[in-house]
Amino acid sequence: MTSVFLRLKSSPLSFCICVLLSLGRLSVLQAQAQADLGGRVLLVLPFDNRTGQPNLEWIAESFAETMNVRLSSAGYLTISRSDRDYALDHLGLPLGFRPSRATTIRIAQTLDAEYVIVGHYSIENARIVAQAQVLDVNGLRMSAPLDDSTDLKHLLDLENTIAWKCAREIDSKFPVALGTFLAASNGLKLDAYENYIRGITTENSDERIKRLKSAISSDPTYVAALLALGKAQYTARDYDAAALTLARIPASSPVALEANFYRGLSRFNYAKYADAETAFSFVATRLPLPEVVNDQGVAQARQKKDGSAFLQRASSQDPQDADYHYNIAVSLRRSNKLDAAKVEAEQAVKLRPSDGEAKLLLSVLDGTLAPAGFDPQERIRRTYSEAGVRQAAFQVDQMRLAKAGALPPAQRAEALTQNGRDYLNAGLMLEAERAFQQAIDADPQSPVAHLGLAEVRERSGNAADARVEAQKSVQLKPSVAGYLLLARIELQGGQLKSSAGDVSNALTLEPRNAAALYLRNTLAARGQTTP
């Protein structure tokens, strides 16, 4: 069966490979070798509300949302809510339907999911109790129940814990610690999360915007809510508000690409074509989806620039798209390259015979019709292929691992450590820990891999494990970064003498290191001199 998820919601795998090649990640041979690389496609269904309290129904979707985000970070290709809803509609099932095991298998097969997570939650003794099970679709095996409970105010901890247990159920050697899952939601307020979930699940546009604004009011840096609000404002045609909302998302955020695509559309709809081009360029230089490259060219054309190179590039990536051929025809006609324009217009009509505008353009180019004032414009694309982006990112991750797997242990550890460092710099803690653990598995004597894992542990609030990993790192190879990490942990734990010793070790290696000098002054202010 060809997956609905893959067939309708994303670009083909060949495009994903094209993206990877354009990013300089892989050689042609490596890309071809990985073309059929299998992934772990996973579907999380909303949990069943057994509390008897309708006001807690939003938690059903919150489990699916949290687990999708965490398990995606853990290396699974998770199926989004929109793809899941499409499958339900395709099978003639209502969106709020709670499937039986047999129906769950049908949904999974429709989406080519290899694993499905189902569950329910209830209230017992003033605590919320959740239970999940993992269905292995290929093996037709349901796991034993995975249980946990907590106070309702710690709902996010419960959802992260259940997600971690499911990851461990699927892969008993899953390398990421529970603490890293728990730390992933640090700082997110429950009321902000509740409003976000209620916002993205309501069908009422005004209610959606109201809820998402409430989420952001509670947590102004909540990027998922900012993205959802910006898209809701865009859908409501409040383009100026949408652009301002989406501009608040940092360029380093994992959702920055999607945010800038819709920001570009919002600016385009206000005839702010230079701003639109800048936004589309931000996306295209990082992930050149054909719709983004096309829009970059269209924005240039609206500024009386020649955007034909971008239009040609979009069409070469997706040659079966009639709009891209139409756009090239319009651009070529404007440049008076009429024969080439006619070829493109013919292709547009062939691909979409019902396109009256393309037929009119072809008639003009044939010389059979010359309407006064005929001035066709290139077409903007308004749909961002979210599934295509996620699949391309997943493929990058899988191919990175495959490429690293062919290296000798020390080089494999070095490559994986660099992956971990890239993830850590982007604030992607789960991905970083997974990469550092894989590096240590490849080469247990890698000091930089142990140091990277120590940094993850420190940021996750696990000082004890962070210290253990940092000590391993400096034992294998003394480093300023390793000693300073130890010094910070010891300072926070009140171990001033040990901290001073590690600061001294760091300054021995690099006498003018600013961070080490700062720590020395901090210790001196507390009455502890550095050896």
CATH number at residue 335: 1.25.40.10
Burial class (CB in 10 A: 0-12, 13-18, 19+), 161: buried
Provide the β-strand partners of residue 78.
42
- Average pLDDT score over residue span 69-90: 84
Rounded (10°) CA dihedral 93, 95, 99, 104: 80
The two tokens of residue 368 are: 């059979």
Backbone dihedral region of 477: left (phi > 0), alpha (psi from -120 to 50 degrees) or beta?
Answer: beta
**Residue 7 covered by a domain:** no
Q: Tell me how far apart the alpha carbons of residues 323 and 168 are, in angstroms, rounded to a whole number.
A: 46
How high is the mean pLDDT of the chain? 87
**Residue 4 covered by a domain:** no
Proportion of the chain in helix, strand, coil states, percent, rounded to 5: 65, 5, 30
Among 30-44, 80-94, 335-349, where is mean pLDDT lowest? 30-44
**Residue 232 covered by a domain:** no
Map residue 459 onto helix, strand or coil.
helix
Do 313 and 429 share a structural domain? no
Do 105 and 45 share a structural domain? yes
**Residue 69 covered by a domain:** yes
pLDDT digits (tens, 9 = 90+) for 153-197: 999 999 999 999 999 999 988 889 999 999 999 889 999 999 999
Q: Tell me how far apart the alpha carbons of residues 135 and 103 are, in angstroms, rounded to a whole number.
A: 12
Residue at 373: amino acid letter: G
pLDDT at 38: 44
pLDDT at 90: 77
Which residues span the domain enclosing 355? 290-383
**Residue 243 covered by a domain:** no
pLDDT at 444: 94
Of 345, 360, 383, the domain-final residue: 383
Burial class (CB in 10 A: 0-12, 13-18, 19+), 402: middle
Do 470 and 409 share a structural domain? yes
pLDDT digits (tens, 9 = 90+) for 429-464: 888 888 898 899 999 999 999 999 999 999 888 899
Do 516 and 411 share a structural domain? yes
Burial class (CB in 10 A: 0-12, 13-18, 19+), 343: middle
pLDDT at 389: 63
Do 446 and 352 share a structural domain? no
Query: Does 27 score more than 60 pLDDT?
Result: no
Query: Does 24 score more than 50 pLDDT?
Result: no
- Residue 139 sits in a domain whose CATH number is 3.40.50.10070
Do 434 and 379 share a structural domain? no
- Average pLDDT score over residue span 43-70: 95
Do 355 and 372 share a structural domain? yes
**Residue 218 covered by a domain:** no
Strands 115-124 and 48-49: parallel
pLDDT at 77: 85
pLDDT at 391: 65
Of 324, 356, 383, the domain-final residue: 383
Residue 511, phi then psi, degrees to nearest 5: -60, -25
Do 101 and 82 share a structural domain? yes
Of 152, 186, 220, the domain-final residue: 186
**Residue 424 covered by a domain:** yes
Q: Tell me how far apart the alpha carbons of residues 357 and 345 are, in angstroms, rounded to a whole number.
A: 10
Do 449 and 407 share a structural domain? yes
Do 365 and 479 share a structural domain? no
Do 303 and 167 share a structural domain? no
pLDDT digits (tens, 9 = 90+) for 270-321: 999 999 999 999 998 887 889 999 999 999 999 999 999 999 999 998 999 9
- 3 state SS for 121-186: EEEECCEEEEEEEEEECCCCEECCCEEEEECHHHHHHHHHHHHHHHHHHHCCCCCCCHHHHHHCCC
Map residue 99 onto helix, strand or coil.
coil
Do 413 and 342 share a structural domain? no
**Residue 196 covered by a domain:** no
Domains contained in the chain, number: 3
The two tokens of residue 254 are: 């994992």
